[in-house]
Structures are given as C-alpha cells and as structure tokens.
Amino acid sequence: MELNFDLVFNNLPLFWEATKTTIRITVVSFIFALLVAFTVGVLRSFRIPRIIELFLASYVELFRGSPLLIQLFFIYYGLPSVGIVMDAFTAAVIGLALNGGAYMSEVVRASILSVPRGQWEAAFSLGYSKLETVCYIILPQAVRVAIPPLMNSFSSMLKETSLVSVISITELTRTGNLIYSRTARPFEVYMALGLFYFVMTFSVVLLAKQIERRGTRWTI
C-alpha cells in the first residue's frame, strides 16, 4: 500500500482550526487548574480545620485516583441526570481543570514545604503576619521551585485534551478521527496528529528551558 500525505496537506485548514481549539481548551483549563492548585496547595500546607483538610484531601485523591476519561464522561453525560447540564466546552474545561488542579496542587504544596523553616521564622520575628509571610516571602520562593514541574503539567494537559474528543468537541484528535473515517487512511492521519501534538509540547519544553534560564537571577 502506498502512502499519500496529500490528504494531510489538503486538510491543513481543518487541522489548523482544530489546533486552535486544542490550544484554547488547554490554556483556559490550565488557568483554572492553576487557581485550583494554588488555593488547595496553599491551604493544605497549613494547619487548617480537619474537616476542610479532609475535604481537600478527598478531592485530590479522587481526581488523581480515577481516569480522566471517566471524569469527563461523568461531568458531561452523568451530571445532567441530577439536573446539571452544561455545554461540551464547559464540561471539558471543568474536567481538565479539576483533574490537573489535583495533580498540580501537590506540586504547589511540595514547593511551599521546600522553603526552609528559617524563612518563616525570620518573617515571623520581623513582625510579618501569616498572610504577608506567604505573599512576600514564601510564595515567591515556592513559585520558582514549582515552575519547571508546572510547565510539565502544562504539556501533560495539552496531550490530555485529546480525551475531550469523546464528548464531541472538535479539537485536534476528533478532527483527525473525522478525516480518517472519510479517507480511511489511518497511517497518514495519526502520524500527522502525533506530529502536531509533538510540535506543541516541544515548543512548551523549549519555552520552559528559556524561563528556567532567565529565572536564575538569585540563588539560595
């Protein structure tokens, strides 16, 4: 069987539209995931009421311990049974943000715990309040530790958006599937798809390296 990549080039406008959808879902989900991760991660690195800690810990473990695919199915197809209906894009963003947020909150928590105790003590003895200590002393140092793993999470999320094709969002993967069913050329289509994802994640890796290099203004 001879290979014919013309069908990829002929469908480039379609792929381009789909790529934009993938990027949009990734960016929006990642921003919400960051909000979730910082809220949960910061709260969980403090002594908080047991009931809140239990609630946050259950959230993190539930979302890390079950497949994202099931979570997406549940949000989009399951929740309408109890009267919660939303469009596919919203469901995708909620699923990706809650799932990514659970993993990323652990990154944030570990980064906060990596800041030496002496930093808390110095701020305490200078008269900083707890909130001021977190904002001015701890988070700036924790964020630097967190950036490389968070960039990694961004790449993961970009690849995981391929799962939202199952709730009928016409992003990159679903577009590939549609073109495949029309042309019956899986080799060319999926190779092109893989390449598109790779180009995006590799760009993120390069960007991450750039940020890490520039972020070394100060050292411990």
Partner 1 sequence: MDDLTRLVEIKDVYKSYGNLPVLRGVSLTIPKGEILGIIGPSGSGKSTLIRCINGLEEIQSGEILIKGQPISNRRESLEIRKKIGMVFQSFNLFPHYTVLENITNPCRVVNGMSKKRAQEVGESLLEKVRMQNKAHQYPGSLSGGEKQRVAIARALAMEPEIILFDEPTSALDPELAYEVFDTIKLLAEDGMTMVIVTHQIGFIKDLTHRIVFIDEGRICCSGSPDYILNQSEDPRLENFLMRIRGNL
Instruction: Kindly list the residues in this chain that would bind partner 1 in the complex (CB under 8 A).
Output: 116, 118-119, 121-122, 124-129, 132, 136-137, 140-141, 144, 217-220
Residue 50 or 117: the one with the smaller Cβ distance to partner 1 is: 117
- Tell the smallest beta-carbon distance from residue 122 to partner 1 (Å): 4
Residue 83 or 118: the one with the smaller Cβ distance to partner 1 is: 118
Distance CA 81, CA 191 (A): 38
- Tell the smallest beta-carbon distance from residue 55 to partner 1 (Å): 25
- Tell the smallest beta-carbon distance from residue 111 to partner 1 (Å): 13
- Tell the smallest beta-carbon distance from residue 108 to partner 1 (Å): 17
Residues 6+ away with beta carbon under 8 Å from 92: 25, 29, 72, 76, 161, 164, 167, 169
Residues 6+ away with beta carbon under 8 Å from 88: 76, 164, 167, 168, 169
- Tell the smallest beta-carbon distance from residue 134 to partner 1 (Å): 12
Residue 134 or 172: the one with the smaller Cβ distance to partner 1 is: 134
Residue 51 or 220: the one with the smaller Cβ distance to partner 1 is: 220
Q: Are the CB atoms for 110 and 147 separated by under 8 Å?
A: no
Q: Are the CB atoms for 44 and 56 separated by under 8 Å?
A: yes
Which of these, 146, 54, 36, lies nearest to 100 by C-alpha position? 36
Residue 67 or 140: the one with the smaller Cβ distance to partner 1 is: 140
Residue 16 or 136: the one with the smaller Cβ distance to partner 1 is: 136
**What does the angle CA 47 – CA 48 – CA 54 come to, to the nearest 5 degrees?**
115
Q: What letters, b where the CB count within 10 A reaches 16 and e where it falls short, cover 104-131?
A: bbbbbbebbeebeeeebeebeeeebeee
- Tell the smallest beta-carbon distance from residue 41 to partner 1 (Å): 19
